[in-house]
Every structure is written in structure tokens, then in C-alpha cells.
A and B are shown apart, each in its own frame.
Chain A
Amino acid sequence: MRLHPFELIEPSSVAEAVAALGGADGEARLVAGGTALVPMLRMGLLRPGRVISLHRIAELGRFAVSGGSLHVGAMVTMAAIGRSPEIARGWPLLAAAAGRVATPAIRSSATLGGNLGYAEPASDPAPALMCLEAEVDVAGPTGARSLPLSRFFAGFYETALAPGEILTGVRVPAAPPGARSGYVKFCPRSAEDKPLVGVAALLVMDAGAGRCVEARIGLGAVAPSAIRASRAEAILRGATVDAATIRAAADAAVEETDPLSDLMGSAEYRRQMVRVWVRRLLTSLANG
């Protein structure tokens, strides 16, 4: 089945894209990789008169490291993130999460900016980027601004983007020295699915004392958007990370979720799976 007809605009700079979006008076949709938008167009859930594709804006398709911080343009694909040796070395948590999105043929199209701008609650990269304390760069009619990813997500498929604003990139600070991190996703139906529960975690251990110096836990698919499990983190910080501490942290993480029931699983099942997968990931990191 064809998509309903629309006018396609292919700006070659961010300024042109902002102008096109502003000039469309709310009748336009931005498309990055299309993995979310095109199925919605086909199903008729959206019928924009204009579609603005960002693929000709060269600067959005690049990533670079500067001053120890990684900047990823909004149009960089999951595949490009997943296969970059530089990102694997410096930001292995992001590489791991991007490499677990859907399937190879989706990762080659799906972009980081599209994933975050769509505010998919079950995003794989979002909980990883929350752990890494990423910021997003936004351009709009009144200029550019940056804000923490934790404030960018405003609700279920909602962002803090104002009308006419475009997410242009993501800034990811260096992880703390000695950090160990990982991302696990639990997919009860098939491996290429969105996660029922996604867990990203980052731990810094004091080598001598065996104590946890820093702990960050990001959760996906269990709240209107990706969240940090800050009470669970507080239990880990300063503690000896043994089985009892890990259990206490996993139990605390459950209490920080606000899951929905859907075809993949009930809210209560999601809560139980948060307990299981937080415990498993922390155990593996603590022993790592």
C-alpha cells in the first residue's frame, strides 16, 4: 500500500530545515531514517502535507570527539554508532545499546536523533544515554540551545521540543575513569523486538576497598520515557556491592518505575522483570 501523497522538502542546512518547518505552520513532519514515521504514514496515523527529510544536511550525519566529549549528529545511524571503534572504546555503553536496536536492516536506517526525537519509551539508546548524562542540541527559530536528555523527555512519546525546533545532535561526556558498564534488554517474544525492559548501568568500583564509588542505572520501557533509577543508585554508592546490596538496589529500582500493560506484558510483569534484569546486570558488572 502506498503512502498518501505529500510534498517532500530536502533542506541542505539546519537553517533551511528550521525555515521549512516554521513555514509549514504545523503541517510538516520531520523524517530522519523513517523507521518510525514511514509505517505511521502508511497506517494513516499521520497525514502531513509536507515531509522534511534531513538526509542532505551533511553536518547531521557525522560524529566527532572533541575535548573528551562525543558529539553525535542527529542523522548518524545505529549501525554507524555500533561499528565505530572510537565509540566502542570511549562510549561502550552507547555502542552496546545502539548495536541492540532491532535488526541490521533497521539499524542501517534508524538514527540516534530520530530515536530520541520520537521519544520511544522502549528506546534502547535512551537509558544508556541517561546513564552517560548526555545532552541534546536543539536548533529552532530563536536559535540553538542544549538541554540534558533527562529534561528532553517530557512524557509518553513527548519531548521538550518547542514548535519549530529540531534535535540536531547529542553530546555525550566521557564516562568516569574506570567505569564498567553494560546494557541488557529483555525481549520475551523475539530478539529483534523492542525491549519489554531495557537496563543500562554504569559502575565505578574502588579497586582496593571493593566499594562502589559511582552508580548509574537507566531503565527503558518501564515509564513514559527512559528514567534513571536514582534511589537504587543511592543504595549502591559507597556500599560494598554484594548480593544483598544488589537485591536492595533492584527492589528500589522497581519502585521507581511506572510501567504500562501492553501486548508484550502486564505492568506487574514488567516490574518483576525490572527486579530480575537490574539484579543480573549489576551482578555481572560487580563481578566484572
Chain B
Amino acid sequence: MSLVLEFELNGRPCRTSVPAHFTVLDLLRDGLALLGTKDGCGEGVCGACTVLLDGEPVRGCIVLAARVAGRAVVTIEGVGGEGPDALQEMFATHGAAQCGFCTPGMILSARSLLAVNASPSAHDVREALAGNLCRCTGYVKIVEAVLAAAGRSAACASIPSS
């Protein structure tokens, strides 16, 4: 069984047909060849497949593709224009990416935070990124990068580890 889906993808209208059992992650990676959204744990825990659905962060691996009909999806491919946006720039400047596998999900979770909270505290950032696991950086530089992108001094450097 397949579905015809019409939705907005990274600001542009998209119409595509996918098998009914596809998740949003399958739709993006296998249906549309958008490989920026990563396939991590497959059970909603690691956050590598985070995308925005009507501005809210969701896990692509556990949301059925049918749920995007008539709604707006933003993936990492939709972030930045000619150059990187502020979050991408600050992730690079602060060394907040190492292997990079978690980075698209981190950027999208951070973007959803900044959309509703323009000047978050380090605690706010940690709460917003609680479901995005990074096995390389230890999170400190990621939190600094998000704070810097929000225009806050990253001088609040000593971030407790728990």
C-alpha cells in the first residue's frame, strides 16, 4: 500500500508517494535522498533523526510518514541559505561537532528552542538538547555554540555536567 503525500519541505511544496509503512526518516532518506537526517537508534532515543514538524522537534524514526501530510517539515538541508546560519556558524566556531553524526539533530533541536526562547540559559539549552546524544564532544562546546548563536556570551563557561 502506498500513500501520496503533499506537504511543505524546507519551505517548498513537495508531493511524493511512499509506502504506507514508511516513517518520516524513511521518507526523507530513502524516498527523497535527503541524507542529512541520520538513522541512529531507530527507537526515538538518540535524536540523530530529529527534524522539525510545524516547528516542533520530532523523531523521524518513530513518526509515520503519513503524519507530514499538509504540514511543514524542516530538515538540516533547509537550514542556512547561501552560507551557514548562526547555529551552523557557531557549531563550527566552537568546535561543537566532531564526527558530526549527531549535529543535524542538535542543530534542529537548538533551532526549535531559539524559536520560542531567544535568550536561553545554559540550563534551557541542556533541557532542549536532552534527547540528542553526542558520543564525541561531552556537550560543553555544543551548549556554548547554542548560547553563542543566541547572541549570549559563551563566557558562562563552567557548565555543570549534570
**Interface residues, chain A, with chain B CB atoms under 8 Å away:** 1-8, 10, 31, 33-35, 38-39, 42-43, 51, 53, 55, 79, 102-106, 108-109, 191-192
Contact = CB atoms under 8 A, between A and B. Distances in A.
Given A53-B67, A108-B56, 18 more contacts: A2-B22, A3-B21, A5-B1, A6-B20, A7-B1, A31-B64, A38-B44, A39-B42, A43-B43, A53-B64, A55-B67, A103-B47, A104-B109, A105-B44, A105-B50, A105-B57, A105-B59, A105-B109
Q: Is the interface of A mostly helix, strand, loop or mixed?
A: loop
Nearest to A6: B21
Contacts of B59: 35, 105-106, 109
Interface of B: 1, 3, 19-23, 26, 42-44, 47, 50, 53, 56-59, 61-64, 66-67, 109, 112-113, 127-128, 130-131
B49 to A, nearest CB: 9
Given A35-B44, A35-B62, A105-B58, A8 B53 contact: no
Contact of A34 (B22, B53, B64): B64
Contacts of A108: 53, 56-58
Given A39-B43, A103-B47, A109-B59, A191 B130 contact: yes
Contacts of A109: 58-59, 62-63
Across the A-B interface, the 7 shortest Cβ-Cβ residue pairs: A103-B131, A8-B20, A105-B57, A39-B43, A108-B56, A38-B62, A3-B21
B110 to A, nearest CB: 11
B128 A104 contact: yes
A35 B41 CA distance: 13
Contacts of B131: 102-106, 192
A226 B3 CA distance: 39
Contacts of B127: 104
6 contacts: A5-B1, A5-B20, A34-B64, A34-B67, A106-B59, A109-B63
A105 B53 CA distance: 10
A42 B62 CA distance: 9
Nearest to B45: A192
